[in-house]
Each structure stands twice: as structure tokens, then as C-alpha cells.
Amino acid sequence: MTACLRLLSALCLAMLLAACASSPSSNLGELPRTPDATIEQLLGQAASAKTPAEASVLRLSAADLAYRQHANDRAGQILAQVQVEQLNAGQQIIASTLAAELALARNQPKEALNALNHPSLQRLGEASVEQQVRTHTVRARALEADGQILPAAQERVFIAPLLSGDAAAANSDAIWALVSSLPAEQLNTTGTDDLAGWQSLALAVKSAGTLDQQKAAINDWRNSHASHPAAKQLPAALTKLMELTSQPLTKVALLLPQQGQLASVGKALRDGFMAAYYQAQQAGQKPPVVEVFDSSRVTSMDDFYRQAQAAGAQMVIGPLEKPLVKQLAGRPQLPLTTLALNYSDTTTANPPQLFQFGLAAEDEAREVSRRARADGLHRAVALVPRGEWGDRVLAAFRQDFEANGGSLLGSQRVDQPVALAQQIGDLMQARQGANGSGGSRRQDVDFIFLASTPQLAQQIKPTLNFQYAGDVPVYATSNVYSASGDTSQYNDMNGVRFCETPWLLDNANPLRQQVVRQWPQAGGSLGRLYAMGADAFGLAPRLEQLKALPDNRMQGLSGNLSVNAGQRIERQLPWAQFNGGQVQRLPDTVQ
């Protein structure tokens, strides 16, 4: 989602500026028209200018030209030489906008928003349409990057009447990308303005389950919001959704182990799946008929598919066993659309009928990367278990974090608790400098990425305190949370932040309450599997629409779910923090 939103923002800005290039000038004060001047020529004129005001205007023109030529470092150096107090109000607006654009290029949204607090911005409404669009767009991008999604959407709603053609369509798509990324509970539909209309459209789409229900919800919304801009021209994503065709799903084959080591896992997945089935039935829906097959008895997947097809199944949910999933992933085609409940761990292309869904620790490592960056943290060290699992988690975190501008400064693989103090000391101790100093705690670490058991996590926070690093934030995967109900074990983990399934963080969810009453173990760590089973039921009729619309998400009980290019279900998770032995839910961020 991050990359899509940023790309959309960049494209939108380019279209907006192009659309407004012929807009009338304002009397507030602009830059001199020097279309053929180079940066060096402008700087030369500034050096020989007769007044500080003239020199400042020319340097601002040079900085703006450097930015338009994508020479951001040069633009920043020139802008730093501009005496902003020598500029008139219109030129100060340009300088503040440029400072914000350069801050965003450095991935510093808060600095960008500070730049847009200049007093001159109070007169933005007197500026040219081109400048108003440029300034409001960069503010929208900064708010988005800072996790302030609704204010970002409001900025784009504000400039919508100033746009037409492709620029208006790009802005509309950007508004939809923002509001549709919000959880349903954060959408406020009570107002009568355009932003409330956008939010009610997002809620209508999120609240509908199947493709046909979503189409009906969009049509109902358009009928009741006929004057809204989105009713006149749907965002591109919804236009594409309306063009999709669906075939009713009437029967599925649920393929899970009923014997052997994975029987208890299979039972939790099956019970979660069927609980969601009965909930849909009680709500008046017509869920597909479910026939359960025992994967532990399957000797040939070809024979199983023939049996499932003979029984009238249109889709297979399962298998769970990794060898069977790997076998399916290696085939060029499958007889039926299949949602495997595990990952194949192969990098080759899957058959087009195969989707893969699981509680992958790699998803959570990427979630830690996303959340830390959203919180403004960009330099990390990592503590992961020794072994293949720890290697996979660390690799996923490193890849996502560094690809998005973060720096992994060091890592330790934890094996024996007795070595923990030394390992944390090695990570957190400052390297001895040229002046001979050393032994103090390093100051370049923004946070610690932690993947460990609850027992080990209980020792890590006190050890950090011992190493004078107790103030360094700790971001962890869900492994640190046992969900056992024994709050005493969390007393030594104060301040540790961790991602977790909505199932274990939202005790008020009706389906969760119903399942836990029947199977109390679903209230503990096994609840993650019940949640996954319930989500498999919800995903079944929506796989093709999620595949066609990668920005679309299903708000599930195991996470906020989407389908990536490899047809794997990716989870975005909510966050919590240990506080005084209790688990405290943290506000969501979107990026």
C-alpha cells in the first residue's frame, strides 16, 4: 500500500501541475518568468543583485528550478541561502512549499508540515490556482506520510473543485486510496460534506462481503449521493470492480488434517471456518455448502481433486500440510481454485488457481518495519532466535526496512538466555572512538526489533535497563504475547510494542465471543488459528476481486488482508503495548 500511495501521490502532483500550468497569475507575488535561465545563470544574477530582496528572489528561483530538475540536494543548499524575510508573501508561500517538498523527499513529513506553518500560508487563498494546488498537494502528501490519513484526504477534497480532466481523476483516485485504507471504525459518515461522502462510500464497500454485494452497495451509495463527485465519476479502482464478473460460490471442499501431529491445528482452523459459516447463515446470507475432507488420508492430490469435483465443489480451502502445498505450487495448473492454508516457500511462479494464506512470521517482521517507519524510526538493531526461523524473520525485516529507507545497524541471534546480557551489550555499546572514549551506550539506535518467546522477552527489557538502554523502544512480533491471561508475566515487559491479530486484541468481537464460549482455548494463543479459519471463509468468495484490486483489503480477524502479486495473502496487523502488566491497544497507523 505504501508504494502505491506514494506513486499515486507523485503522479497526481505531476498531473495537477500540468493541468494548472495555464492558470491565471495572482497579484500576491510570484517568481520572475525566466523560462530559459539555468540554475547557474540565476545564481550569477543573484550574486550581482543590487538588493537583498532581488538576490533572495533569484536564489529562490534557482532552488525551485533545481527541485523541478530533481536535483534535491542542490535545491536544499540554494534554499538555505534565501533570506525568506526579504520575500513578499507570495514568494514566501513558494519558499515554504519548496521546503516542504524537499523535506518529504528526505522522508521527513513532520519537518514538511512545520515548513507549511509559515504565517504567509494564511494568504494562500490569494495565490494563483497553480500555487494553491501545489501547496495543498504537498500538505496532503506530508499528512499521509505522517499517518494523518483523513486530514490528507481533506486537503485533496479541498482542491478537487480547482481541477478538471486527468488531474481531477488522479486526485479522486488519491482520495479513494486514502479513505479506503482506513479501518471501518475510523470512518465518520455523519457529516454532509464531500469528505463524509467519501467515507460513507468506503464504509459501504468494506461492509459488503461478496463482489455482488459490493456492486450493489456502490450503486445504492451513488443513488443516495447523486451530487457527490465520486457518484458522477467513480475512482478507477471502483470502476474496475464494477466491471468484474462473479460466479456464485455454492460449494467448497475444506481439506484439513483430522489425524496426526497437525490434527489440533486442523481442528482449530475448521472450527473457526465453520463458526464464520454459521454466523453468515444467521445473518440471512446463503453461504456455500461445505464438505470436509481429511487431508491426512490423502495419498494423491489428483484423486482428491477428482473426488472434490465429483462432489460439486467449485473451490478448495486447504491443504494445511506444507509438503502438499509445495506439491501444488509446482504444478502448471490446478483443476479448482485453491486457497492453501500454508506457504510453499518456493520462489517459482505458482499455478494461477493457487492462493496461499497463513500466519507467516515474515508478515509480522514486515509489519514491524512498517509501523516503526510510520512512527518516525529509521535506525534499528535486531534480536532474533538462532536457527532457520530466526533467519527468515530477520531477512524479511531487513529487506522491507532497508527497501523503504531504514538502516539495520546490527543484529544478534539469541540462543542461550545466559548469553543475553553479553549479546545486548554488544549491540548497544558504543564503539570506541578515535579519542579513546568508549563503553557508553550508543546513541544512533532508534529502536530494537525483537522476535522471541514470551519467556525470553521477559528477560530482555530488564537487561536493556542494565545496559542503560531502557529508553530504546522495542518493537516485537506477536511471539512475545502468550495470551495466557497471566498478566504477571508482562510486568517486566513494560513499554514493549507488538503486533497482534485483531482476534486477540478485540474481546468485543461477536464471533470471537461466540467461539470462545464454545471453545475456551480460542481465547488464548490458539485463537490466532480460529481467526485464520474464520478469515479463510471470508476470503473464499473474494479472492478474485482482491487479486484484481491489489489496494483492496478485507478486514479480517487475523489481520487486514490483501492479495499480493504472487497470490499470497498479506496481513497488516494492529498494535498493542504492555503497560503495567496489561495489554493496551495502540492507535492504528496507515502507510
Q: For residue range 425-481, what is the model confidence (pLDDT) as tens digits?
A: 888 875 444 333 445 667 889 999 999 888 888 888 788 877 777 789 999 999 999
What is the DSSP pairing of strand 569-572 with strand 560-563?
A: antiparallel
Q: Output 28 or 218, whichever has higher pLDDT.
A: 218
Residue with cell 504537498: 138
Mean pLDDT for 110-133 is 94
What pLDDT shows up at residue 441?
64
Give the count of beta carbons closer than 10 Å to the beta carbon of residue 185.
10
What's the pLDDT band for 590 if we cut at 50, 70, 90?
low
Task: Specify whether 60 is located in the same domain as 181.
Answer: yes
Task: Specify whether 7 is located in the same domain as 133.
Answer: yes
Task: Specify whether 277 is located in the same domain as 319.
Answer: yes
Residue 232 included in any domain: yes
Mean pLDDT for 400-406 is 90
Residue 558 included in any domain: no
Which of 408, 405, 399, 398 has its CA nearest to residue 374?
Answer: 405
Dihedral in degrees, nearest 10, Cα atoms 142, 143, 149, 153: -80
Spatial separation of the C-alpha atoms in residues 397 and 374, rounded to whole Å: 15
Q: What percent of the chain stands above pLDDT 70?
A: 92
What pLDDT shows up at residue 84?
94
Residue 173 included in any domain: yes
For residue 292, what is the enclosing H or E element? strand 289-294
Task: Specify whether 138 is located in the same domain as 210.
Answer: no
What's the pLDDT band for 146 if we cut at 50, 70, 90?
confident
What pLDDT shows up at residue 16?
42
Task: Specify whether 140 is located in the same domain as 31.
Answer: yes
pLDDT tens per residue, range 370-396? 999 988 899 999 999 989 999 999 999
What pLDDT shows up at residue 191?
85
Spatial separation of the C-alpha atoms in residues 56 and 245, rounded to whole Å: 59
What pLDDT shows up at residue 26?
53
Residue 332 included in any domain: yes
| CB of 295 closer than 8 Å to CB of 267 | no
The region of weakest confidence among 267-281, 305-319, 337-351 is 337-351
What pLDDT shows up at residue 6?
47
| CB of 574 closer than 8 Å to CB of 585 | yes
What pLDDT shows up at residue 462?
82
Residue 44 included in any domain: yes
Alpha-carbon separation of residue 129 from 16, 28, 65, 230, 499 (angstroms): 10, 12, 19, 22, 43
Question: Domain count of the chain?
Answer: 4
Residue 590 included in any domain: no
Angle between helices 527-539 and 263-282 (to 10 degrees): 50
Omega cis (within 30) before 520? no
The string of DSSP codes covering 70-126 is T-HHHHHHHHTT--GGGS-HHHHHHHHHHHHHHHHHTT-HHHHHHHTT-GGGGGGGG
For residue 577, what is the enclosing H or E element? strand 575-579
Residue 565 included in any domain: no
Task: Specify whether 158 is located in the same domain as 25.
Answer: yes
Cell of 248: 456464485
pLDDT tens per residue, range 175-206? 999 998 887 888 888 888 999 999 999 999 88
Final residue of a domain: which of 192, 207, 224? 192
Which of 544, 468, 474, 534 has its CA nearest to residue 501?
Answer: 534
Mean pLDDT for 164-175 is 94
What's the pLDDT band for 417 if we cut at 50, 70, 90?
low
- Supply the range of the domain harboring residue 57: 2-192
Which CATH number is 52's domain given? Answer: 1.25.40.10
Instruction: Name residue 169's amino acid.
Output: A
What's the pLDDT band for 29 if we cut at 50, 70, 90?
low
| CB of 172 closer than 8 Å to CB of 228 | no
Task: Specify whether 241 is located in the same domain as 255.
Answer: no
Spatial separation of the C-alpha atoms in residues 303 and 478, rounded to whole Å: 38
Task: Specify whether 100 is located in the same domain as 165.
Answer: yes
* pLDDT greater than 90 at residue 483: no
Task: Specify whether 371 is located in the same domain as 403.
Answer: yes
What's the pLDDT band for 20 if we cut at 50, 70, 90?
very low
Instruction: Tell me the pLDDT of the chain averaged across its residues.
Output: 88
Query: Within its chain, how far is the Cα of 213 from the centroid?
Result: 25
Q: What percent of the chain stands above pLDDT 90?
A: 65
Task: Specify whether 141 is located in the same domain as 175.
Answer: yes
Task: Specify whether 580 is located in the same domain as 434.
Answer: yes
| pTM exceeds cut of 0.85 | no
Sheet of strand 554-555: strand arrangement: 554-555, 560-563, 569-572
The region of weakest confidence among 125-139, 264-278, 433-447, 480-494 is 433-447
* pLDDT greater than 90 at residue 119: yes
For residue 176, what is the enclosing H or E element? helix 165-180
Mean pLDDT for 504-509 is 91
| CB of 136 closer than 8 Å to CB of 101 | no
Mean pLDDT for 287-301 is 95
Distance in angstroms between the alpha carbons of the first and the last residue of the chain: 7
| CB of 126 closer than 8 Å to CB of 91 | no
What pLDDT shows up at residue 545?
83
Spatial separation of the C-alpha atoms in residues 9 and 419, rounded to whole Å: 47
Spatial separation of the C-alpha atoms in residues 574 and 229, rounded to whole Å: 32
The residues with which 28 forms a beta bridge, in sequence order, are none
The region of weakest confidence among 337-346, 467-476, 521-530 is 467-476
Task: Specify whether 188 is located in the same domain as 263.
Answer: no
Residue 534 included in any domain: yes
Which CATH number is 421's domain given? Answer: 3.40.50.2300
